[in-house]
Chain A
């Protein structure tokens, strides 16, 4: 048991390390991403200035700038959590490396989690840099407590099963991440990334409550800007993790078995 866990941890670390080495070998891509993030912080600040005093934005916790910035950071982190593994898996499927990686004892969920580690860690690092720049240069005030940090971690962890499902679908349909695109679009529209959900029509607010990204975003804002997560949101996150975790692991296992049976681990 302990040996199996150690082997799994070693495989995860190796996959992270490979993706880190690949990213390091293409520094221009990372650099342009960092510059564009800093520019995005500036434009977020200007947008917030432009809508200052607009109805429904003044009362937002931390002010509209902090609120919008955390929404955009959430979109970036959620993209890494939901789409990171699926995009990497598709690239490896096209290249042929997926078959080589999955020829050994490493299986399904461990592999997919391994593929998502680098994108997720990078997105968290980017978020840290953005928050530091915004706090240092643009007066962003953060209110982080231990409870808030735990809520934030729960919110992000609850999105991980979606990433496993997205990778499973990519493995089967051999398209670049259809699930991730849907989740990202739905989150942008309904979860309150850029505007408060109260501006949506009543039926849309109800529908947005069913989105897994909605309580996760609430948790991230509560974690960074202070405030407690509502009980329904907390229950939704815990239930999502408790039920979605095992179901998504089973989903990856089924998709992998299907892909092996139909010759779909590679794009040959």
Chain B
């Protein structure tokens, strides 16, 4: 018997719309022109896999991860996710500059319905103990990236989605990330990267080109 997929995309087309302009509103349209970002994506990924998403800028890697995280719904097709999802993004969108790392992690625990003691666990996993009570605006880029990784690990997700979180990571953070990617774990890790060393840790590689996904042999 085949194990059920952790993450499945079936015939997924995904469009992102621009904000409606005056002309659109005059035609009673609530959006501007739509741009197709993913097209006909079929994927089945399973627990235990560590899958690297490779591709040029703008190819659709981030969009694919956003769809897997559930913040984008497909125009056509279905995205199915089994288990708790953790989503790590390297930019500042996950952060409120004046709040401490502890406050961010506690908020993530509350919003993801994870136990509060997860704060200490993920902070330890990402070597953040000394930065826990500092506001995000006081952190270096690398420590901030570690905090983003820690936020993604809250609740011990079965499906971990990482969007170029290696950007700005210092050696400690890279070691934590590499450990996460190289240790055989129960869950699925899907990560977008431009880093060849990290991609080499993947058990599978997918290449995204112009919104289409193709498997690539390592």
CB distance from A108 to the nearest CB of B (A): 13
Give CA–CA (A69, B162) in the complex, Å. Answer: 53
CB distance from B160 to the nearest CB of A (A): 13
Cross-chain contact A260 with B113 (CB below 8 angstroms): no
Cross-chain contact B110 with A96 (CB below 8 angstroms): no
Cross-chain contact A104 with B113 (CB below 8 angstroms): yes
Q: Does B30 contact A (CB under 8 A)?
A: yes
Chain A residues with CB below 8 A from B30, complex form = 172-173, 258
Q: Within residues 64 to 110 of chain B, which ones have a CB less than 8 A from any CB in chain A?
A: 66, 69-73, 75, 85, 87, 89, 91-96, 98-99, 103, 106-108, 110
CB distance from B79 to the nearest CB of A (A): 11
Binary interface profile of A, 236-268, with partner B (CB < 8 Å = 1, else 0)? Answer: 000000000000000000000110111111101
Give CA–CA (A103, B107) in the complex, Å. Answer: 13
Q: Does A76 contact B (CB under 8 A)?
A: no
Give chain A's interface residue range (CB within 8 Å of chain B): 35 or more
Cross-chain contact B16 with A102 (CB below 8 angstroms): no
> CB within 8 A of A260: which of B71, B94, B95?
B71
Chain A residues with CB below 8 A from B111, complex form = 11, 14, 101, 104-106
Cross-chain contact A105 with B113 (CB below 8 angstroms): yes
Number of interface residues of B (CB under 8 A): 36
Chain B residues with CB below 8 A from A95, complex form = 92-93
Cross-chain contact B87 with A103 (CB below 8 angstroms): yes
Chain B residues with CB below 8 A from A102, complex form = 71
Cross-chain contact B15 with A263 (CB below 8 angstroms): yes
Q: Within residues 104 to 136 of chain A, which ones have a CB less than 8 A from any CB in chain B?
A: 104-106
Give CA–CA (A185, B55) in the complex, Å. Answer: 51
Give CA–CA (A172, B112) in the complex, Å. Answer: 25
Chain B residues with CB below 8 A from A266, complex form = 71, 93
Give CA–CA (A145, B17) in the complex, Å. Answer: 53
Q: Does A51 contact B (CB under 8 A)?
A: no
Q: Name which residue of chain B comes closest to A267, CB basis.
A: B19
> CB within 8 A of B73: which of A10, A11, A26, A260?
A260
Cross-chain contact B93 with A103 (CB below 8 angstroms): no
Cross-chain contact A97 with B85 (CB below 8 angstroms): no
On whether A264 and B17 interact (CB within 8 A), knowing A14-B111, A100-B87, A100-B93, the answer reads: yes
Give the interface of B toward A (CB within 8 A): 15-17, 19-20, 30-31, 34, 37, 66, 69-73, 75, 85, 87, 89, 91-96, 98-99, 103, 106-108, 110-113, 135
By Cβ-Cβ distance, the 3 closest A-B pairs, closest first, are A96-B93, A14-B110, A263-B16
- Can you show 12 pairs from A to B with CB atoms below 8 A apart? A18-B96, A21-B99, A25-B99, A25-B135, A96-B94, A97-B95, A100-B94, A104-B112, A173-B20, A258-B30, A262-B34, A264-B19
Q: A10-B110, A262-B17, A262-B34 are in contact. List 13 more A-B contacts (CB 8 A).
A: A14-B106, A21-B99, A22-B96, A25-B135, A96-B91, A99-B69, A99-B93, A103-B69, A103-B87, A104-B113, A105-B111, A173-B20, A266-B71
